[in-house]
Structures are given as C-alpha cells and as structure tokens.
Structure 1
Amino acid sequence: MATLFSLLLLFSAFLGAQSTFKVTNNCGYTIWPGILSNAGLAPLTTTGFQLQPGETRVIEVPASWSGRLWARTLCTSDPTSGKFSCATGDCGSGTVECGGGGAAPPVSLVEFTLNGGGNNDFYDVSLVDGYNIALVVFPQGGSGPNCVPTGCIVELNGPCPEGLRVVTGGQTIACKSACEAFSDPRYCCSGAYGNPNTCGPTSYSLFFKNACPRAYSYAYDDATSTFTCASGTAQYLLSFCPNSSSLRSSGGNNPEAAGVPLINDTMIFSDGSQSTHYFPNCFFKIFFSVFLVLSWLTTHV
C-alpha cells in the first residue's frame, strides 16, 4: 500500500510538472497568436487562436517543452472557400489553428527551451526572421541572475529601411530581415559566413539591435540575446504591444538587468510618458545612411 501511495504521489507530481504561458494582446487591433512545438514534441492543446484587444489567454505547457510563439496580423477568411490567411506571420494551415505549420517571415518570434541545460529555462525574442509586431516576455516569479524581461517593445514597421519593407495598401505592415530581402550569404550567415567568426553584425542587423538591445538581430547574436530562469521557478507573460505600465510593474526599465537595457533611450511611449514608436535621432539616421553606403562600396568596389 505504501508503494502504491508513493507511486500516486509521483504521478501527481508528474501531472503538475508544467509551466504556464499567459498571452496578452495590448494592441489596438486583433491578433492571432501561433504556436509551433519543436520537432519530436507533441503539439500543445492549441496551436493558434484569436485574441481581441485587451484579451488574455492562459496556456498550460509541459515542463520540458520547446518551441516558438508569434502573432499573426491582418487575418481574414475567404468568403467563398473559408480559407483562413494572414498578411503577416501566416502558418499556411488555412485555419486559425496552425496544426504544425511555422510562421512565414517576416515575423517577431518568441523561442523557448524549458528545462534545458543546467536545469534552466532558456528564452529569447528573435528578429532574425524580421519583425511584424512589438512583444516582450516577462518571467513571473522566476529566479536566476539572467531571469529578466526581454523583447522588442518598439514599433519598427514605420522606420523600417526602404529595402526591407513589406507594404500593403500603402502601409508598411512588416520589416524583412536582410537575409530574406537580399538572399546574400553575408546576411544569412550561410556558406562562407556560416560560423560566428565570419558572420557578424551588419548595417541592417544593427537597425534592429539599436532599437531592441535584448532581441536577436542576427544568427550569432547570442551574448546579449539569450535569457534563463531556473526551471520550475517562473511562469511567463507574453505581452504583444506592451504598454508602459506593464513595463514599469515588471521592473523591465532596469538598465542593469542582464547587462543590456530593454529600453533604448531613443524611444518614448504614446501614453504621455513614453511611446511604442521608435524615432532614431538625427545622428543615428546620418550614421545609418553612411554605414549603408560604406557597406555597399566595400562589397561592390
């Protein structure tokens, strides 16, 4: 009987061994989050859903899950066929549920490896595949020196460089990576550039990095872009279009956190004290333009 009781306790603990993702839409428009489990892992109970402005959905996640989440925008269903599709982040399933489909770039991604090496949860926000929406990951109740918020809190579609813009109806709805836009190995970290010694930041990746210091801007941008919490200590809030009050309450304004600021001092929020729009200052605009010209000259002359 004692053995049976012990087994029941272990089974109960196993069932309770899970994490929680709290996904919140702070945008002024509807989004459709998508979720993809890594190869070999079972899909979560949902792989895609709709979130109205101000709405939150809580998702239970296995303790050792790994995969990615993102937001789809400007989604519609064809009135004749009923096929569901999105202008950004589409997963190709034809339905709200992605069902194993990944996000079409350009898209802002959240990546997780729960209960990874060293009994840590690893998480990051990646703009390697481009950008479509602002988002932040807030670990709640976690422990560890690198267990801090990360993400990209600014709206980058407006200031997106000309060659990277995705335009629909005269409006920029997403910002491509240089790899997708130009298919150049130098930007894709492929071929002769397929290792960290030969693939470094470029003028284009620096556009993303300057605005979002803690987000991945290119494939080998690990040092300032990967964060960890001790496994089993944190639940995770994923906030799309995060507002200033959520950032203040999370401690996300701490410029010393993980050694890299979450918030760049060239941004403000639109609620009166700050804005989620990013306006590079005059010096940066001039610097960025000169950098682009020099990059072109070193490649073509």
Structure 2
Amino acid sequence: MAQLNYLISFLTVTDLFISGVISSATFTIVNKCNYPVWPGILTNAGVAPLQTTGFALQKGESKTINAPSSWGGRLWGRTQCSEDSTGKFTCVTGDCGSGKVDCAGAGAAPPATLAEFTLDGSGGMDFYDVSLVDGYNLPMLVVPQGGTGVNCRATGCVVDLNGACPSELKVTSNDGAVAGCKSACVAFNQEQYCCSGAYNSPDICKPSSYSQVFKNACPSAYSYAYDDKTSTFTCAGADYLISFCPSPNTSQKSSSDGQNQNQNPVAGNSPEYNSTMVYEGALDVSGSSSPSMCMHVFGSHAIAGSVAIVAAIWRLCQHF
C-alpha cells in the first residue's frame, strides 16, 4: 500500500510538472505589431514541453505561459499566415511546416527572429538570447522581470531589418514586399558563413559583412554562430516579457487587412529614439543605479507605455 501511495504521488507530481503547473518561470508574450502574429514554440529534446506549441495573437493581445522547471527551447513569431481551401495552415515567414496553428514539435523555417531559453541551467541560472543566426522576420525584445544577476538585462532586435536587408538576402511575399531577411548561412550555405566544416571554430569563423549588418543594428542579438560574448544573458529567478514589435517598426503586411504598413527608419538612425525623450517626454530612469533596477522600470512600461519611450529606456538600460 505504501508503495502504491508513493507511485500515485509520483505520478501526480509528474503530471503537474509536465502540464506546466509547477513552473520555474512564466513567459508573457505580447504582440505590439500592427498586424497579427502567430507565435511558435519548440521545446528541446528530453525536456517537459510547454502547454502550447502555437497560437494567434492579434494586435495588442498577450498570452502568459507557465514554463516547467529546467525548460529549454525557442520561441518565434510567424507572419502573414492563412489557411487554404483544404484547411492547411501556412505562413510566409517562420512557418513550422505542421500545416496547423500548433507547431507540434517542428521548428521555424528561416528566416525567423528567435528567442532561445535554457531555464535552471549551470549554477541555477537561466540562459537566454535573441538570435538572428537563422535570419530575421520581425522585431523582438526579451525583458527579464524580477530576476537578479550581473548580466540580467534586456536583449533583442527592435529595429526593422527588413527595410535594410541586402537584396541577396531578402525574402518577399506574393506582392513583392520584403517579409524577411535571410542570414548569409541560410542564403548561401557556405562554410565560412555557417561556421561549419573547415570553419568550425571561433578562431577561424569570423563575422562577415552580412552578419555585421545584423550586429550593427542589433548589438545584443546573435548575428552569427560564435557571437556568444555579447549575445548570451543570464538571470536567476526571473519571469520574461517577450514583445513582438516593441518599437514602431511596421513594414510587414497584415494578412487580415491587406494593407501595407508604413516603413520606419532603423531605430538607431531615427530622432524618435533619441534617449533624451526619456527625460523630456515622460519618464526618468536617472535614479536607476543598476541594470536590474533599470529593467524593472522598463518592464513596468513595456506593455502599455509609449513605444518611443520604451525603446529609449531599453537603450539607456544597456549602458549600465
């Protein structure tokens, strides 16, 4: 009887673990784009999955997901998605090939901006990054909330790389609009760009002129395979806010309204992103004495705040 009770208790805890009720973190995913986004999620092999692998977020919508302890995987946004007459679901960028809204264990077809996580990793720290190694399809920002650590800070790519994409890397939709920007590895499949074969070493594989386009625009995001030093971040005890289009980059075409959105300059070159707006416009973070305090201020404004102010705060927090 004791063994039976132990087995029942074990199965109950295991069931809660797998379903995500017992969690080490929550992901709040927000769509601030002027068009629908369909997030996709792929869990690493051998890890308890999240309770969903894909769903729709209309403009302004958000969804919170519980992550089980030690979860690891990647999350991305799919754009310009639709169903054909047979009910098959496909997307112009980030498609996972399942034919459904749920990705069901399939990853994103490049190009796609990826948020990558390993929770409760070495030393009990969460490891996370935003990667453009598989290319870019839309702006994304990851903001830790309530966490600690010297490298616990926001990361992402908040600019419109589609507008600045080299012609040989562009992915276009049916109407000819730029929908995504391939990485050089994806576009050319050559060892020097993929850090493979004879280039499978950080001492040999160096940034290319193509990866530098990504790195110059988004300094904290992975731009190529060995871009670890400036692109991997760690937190302990954090939840995570993941925002699509946290700044006013809306060059994607909406699959629901059929209207082209206005293209905006790259944030780093636009006067709208001058950091003095934080002081003159609405919010002062000058009293923030640490990255975690600065990001706490950021997190409190990241959903409802002005996109220009959000982008400016994010830039200031990177200077700590």
Q: 2:187 aligns with which of 168, 181, 184?
A: 181
- 1:213 paired with 2:219, answer yes
CA contact (8 A) 1:129 1:177 kept: yes
Percent identity for Structure 1 against Structure 2? 58
Aligned partner of 2:30: which letter? T
Say what the alpha-carbon RMSD is for the aligned residues. Answer: 2.9
- Indicate the larger mover: 52-61 or 38-47: 38-47
Aligned partner of 2:202: which letter? P
Aligned partner of 2:227: which letter? D
Deviation at 1:184, TM superposition (A): 1.1
Aligned partner of 1:118: which letter? G
Residues 92, 196 of structure 1: CA spacing in aligned structure 2 closer, same or farther, 3 A cutoff? same
Aligned to 1:34: 40
Unaligned runs of 5+ in 1: 259-269, 277-301
Cα deviation code 1:202-237 (max 9, x no counterpart): 10000000000000000000000000001xx21000
TM-score with structure 2 length normalisation? 0.72
Aligned to 1:240: 244
- 1:91 paired with 2:96, answer yes
Distance 2:130 2:284 in 1: 17
Aligned to 1:287: none
- 1:156 paired with 2:161, answer yes
Number of corresponding residues: 250
Q: 2:110 aligns with which of 95, 101, 105?
A: 105
- 1:117 paired with 2:112, answer no
Distance 1:102 1:237 in 2: 21
Distance 2:54 2:284 in 1: 26
Matches for 1:57-72 after TM superposition, within 5 Å: 57-72=63-78
Structure with greater strand percent = 1
TM-score with structure 1 length normalisation? 0.77
Aligned to 1:142: 147
- 1:165 paired with 2:170, answer yes
Deviation at 1:86, TM superposition (A): 0.3
Deviation at 1:17, TM superposition (A): 4.0
Residues 75, 65 of structure 1: CA spacing in aligned structure 2 closer, same or farther, 3 A cutoff? same
Q: 2:57 aligns with which of 51, 63, 71?
A: 51
Distance 1:199 1:99 in 2: 34
Aligned to 2:27: 21
Aligned residue for 1:180, secondary structure, equals helix
Residues 201, 165 of structure 1: CA spacing in aligned structure 2 closer, same or farther, 3 A cutoff? same
Deviation at 1:90, TM superposition (A): 0.2
Distance 2:220 2:100 in 1: 33
Distance 2:247 2:161 in 1: 15
Deviation at 1:250, TM superposition (A): 12
Distance 1:257 1:224 in 2: 16
CA contact (8 A) 1:138 1:250 kept: no
Aligned to 1:126: 131
CA contact (8 A) 2:151 2:234 kept: yes
Unaligned runs of 5+ in 2: 249-274, 293-305, 313-320
Deviation at 1:147, TM superposition (A): 0.4
Distance 2:169 2:56 in 1: 28
Deviation at 1:106, TM superposition (A): 0.5
Residues 97, 200 of structure 1: CA spacing in aligned structure 2 closer, same or farther, 3 A cutoff? same
Distance 2:190 2:89 in 1: 32
Cα deviation code 1:243-280 (max 9, x no counterpart): 38xx97897xx9x959xxxxxxxxxxx9677989xxxx
Deviation at 1:170, TM superposition (A): 1.8
